[in-house]
Amino acid sequence: MKFPVKKFLSYYKPYLKVFLLVLACATFISSLALVFPLLVRYVTHEILENDLSSAFNDILWIGSLMILLVILQNAGNFFVDYKGHEIGARMESDMRSELFAHMQKLSLSFYDKQKTGQLMTRITNDLLLLSELYHHGPEDYVKYSIRFLGSFIILMYINVPLTIAVFCFLPVLGIFSLYFNKILNRALTRNKERIGDVNAQVEDSLGGIRVVQSFANEPLEMEKFNRENQRFLESRKGTYKAEAYFFNTAEAFVQLITITVVVVGAMQILNTSMSLADLITFLLYIGFMVEPMQKLAHMSMQFQEGITGFQRFLEIMNTNPAIQNQVEAKSLSTIEGQIEFKNVSFRYSDLTNNVVDQLSLKILPGEYVAIVGFSGAGKTTLASLIPRFYEVAEGEIVLDGENIRELDLHFLRKNIGIVQQDVYLFSGTVLENIRYGNPEASDEEVMMAAQQANAHSFITSLPKGYHSEIGQRGVRLSGGQKQRLSIARVFLKNPPILILDEATSALDNESESMIKESLDVLANGRTTIVIAHRLSTIRNAERIIVLSKGKITEQGTHDKLISNQGSYSRLYSKQFEGQMN
């Protein structure tokens, strides 16, 4: 794939003026560095080899000039180092924000296939290495190019044959560098994948630490971690081996160049074709020529790490959301809440059979509908199609007469409230988590939503009330408390359409009773779709839809379905017998 140079350079645009100033300063200080060997040559060749009567004053003058150059050079280096790194950090921050914003838009189908740890690596480590390339890449290129070319011109002026002899080493070193660049690139890409796997394993294990400890499976988790950690170590060993070859061979070339200069230069002094002052000057300038070669391995590593990071950055940025707004997506002035499925079919990308198959269903505004069926019947999938978490493969879903594909995605989801069995709460306070339902809500509105969700009493009993920290994913709260906060969040959102996805199936009887009361209040006056596990909780539903293999097999009230002696009746009887046992 051709590297997108234009895209890579576009991130310099907001900081172009300061960046060009940094490059100009780098050019200036690199040019100053070239003056030092010339001043040394002037002292040794022009002052010490001629009349020494005025040498003292001349040497003081040259020394003062050197001190001035050191001051200027250090001031310039400070500016380049500080401002250059600041620009790199700003660009890194911009790209991280852009990447995170893009990730927010990606569909759930993308996250179904990704590991969180891998995504975290791309948004942190990769961009950190990329910022170093953005700063040091152009700066080092300018600095070392000026020193290298400047040294070459000056050395050609001093001694053409010796300069040509030195340059004979460079093509071999260049070919060698290109070869190892490819090896390092592969190794660095592998390293990033491996550290992403380590992050994913850590995130998985620590996120489920309660389950790990409850099953006493710490040794198993350690084994899984050690496996990923060992794979990362092996990939690093390959990188270190390539680095060792590169660094040591480059160092050998540097030593050969130095030996060549000393031997050939000494022989030229013997036959009087070169002065000792010129040889000293030559050796000083060789340092400027050798420095880029010595830095070549580091620059190559930095370049490869940065480019690899940028390519991994683009992999995400070039991933288009599977679900997007149409060009002229619209919003409705009001939502009545009538939902209709018209011959809807859907399958996940990794499955061959439809999860929802040619399903047609009409839900009236304000109707309370329950969807039941055995595990895998397609209940949750059906509900996930309404807010367009996934896109239907065939047919259409219509909201108040409008195909949901034609509606603005943000508008659609703002008008649908979802309460799930697996509650996700964010790190922070109780207040912040409830306010997530409406970031503009006042404290009083938050408290009112909590009261409606039967959560106010337990919240006020917490050490800091609404300002109490709940821990990551709400670990400091019970299951019932977390569920009530999630319900309060939806109360605050106040949507006309409500989806309850087995919201009480994992709770004890007392918590279930309290939460069911809250959900009944929440469902009042809204189009409500309940995915039920415990059939006893939906006996009063206006209509019960029975799903099997993505198709509707029965629908009606609880009493009607029981009297039909069909699949619902069998499902209900089986569950009732299980509760009795």
Give bridge partners of residue 205 from the DSSP assignment: none
Q: Is 44 exposed, middle or buried (0-12, 13-18, 19+ CB in 10 A)?
A: middle
pLDDT at 341 (0 to 100): 95
pLDDT tens string, the chain, 581 residues long: the values are: 577 888 888 999 999 999 999 999 999 998 888 888 888 777 776 666 666 666 677 788 888 888 998 899 899 989 998 998 899 889 989 999 999 989 888 888 888 888 777 788 888 878 888 888 888 888 888 888 888 888 888 888 888 888 888 888 777 777 777 777 677 777 777 887 788 788 778 877 776 776 676 667 778 888 888 888 888 888 888 778 877 877 787 778 778 888 888 888 888 888 887 888 888 888 888 777 777 766 665 677 677 778 888 888 888 898 888 888 888 889 999 999 999 999 999 998 877 788 999 999 999 999 999 998 887 788 888 999 999 989 999 999 999 999 999 999 989 999 999 888 778 888 889 999 999 889 999 999 999 999 988 889 899 999 999 999 988 778 788 888 888 898 899 889 989 999 988 766 555 565 667 777 777 888 888 999 998 877 777 888 899 999 988 899 999 999 999 998 888 888 888 766 555 44
- Name 456's Cβ contacts closer than 8 Å, sequence gap at least 6: 447, 450
What one-character DSSP code corresponds to residue 41?
H
Most distant pair of Cα atoms in the chain: their distance: 124
User: What angle do the packed helices 160-167 and 218-270 form, to 10 degrees?
Assistant: 160
Three-class SS of 120-186: HHHHCHHHHHHHHHHHHHHHHHHHHHHHHHHHHHHHHHHCHHHHHHHHCCHHHHHHHHHHHHHHHHH
pLDDT at 581 (0 to 100): 44
Whole-angstrom distance, CA of residue 569 vs CA of residue 561: 6
Whole-angstrom distance, CA of residue 234 vs CA of residue 252: 27
Q: What is the pLDDT of residues 18-66, one digit of tens each?
A: 999 999 999 999 888 888 888 877 777 666 666 666 667 778 888 888 8
Residue 554's SS3 state is: strand
User: Cα 147 to chain center, whole Å?
Assistant: 38
CATH of domain 7-317: 1.20.1560.10
Task: Give the CATH superfamily of 425-494.
Answer: P-loop containing nucleotide triphosphate hydrolases (3.40.50.300)
DSSP for 413-465, please give it: HHTEEEEESS----SSBHHHHHHTT-TT--HHHHHHHHHHTT-HHHHHTSTTG
Nearest to 7 by CA among 302, 216, 223, 318: 318
Looking from the CA of 82 toward its CB, the CA atoms found within 13 Å total 6
Topology of the domain comprising 328-337+363-415+497-581: Rossmann fold (3.40.50)
pLDDT at 580 (0 to 100): 44
Do the domains spanning 7-317 and 425-494 agree at the CATH topology level? no
The CB density around residue 118, as the number of other CB atoms within 10 Å, is 18
- To the nearest whole number, what is the mean pLDDT of the chain? 84
Please check whether residue 22 is in contact with residue 84, taking contact to mean a CB–CB distance below 8 angstroms: yes
Q: Sketch the domain layout of the chain as residue ranges.
A: 7-317, 328-337+363-415+497-581, 425-494
pLDDT at 577 (0 to 100): 55
pTM of the model: 0.75
User: What angle do the packed helices 443-452 and 509-523 form, to 10 degrees?
Assistant: 120
What one-character DSSP code corresponds to residue 46?
I
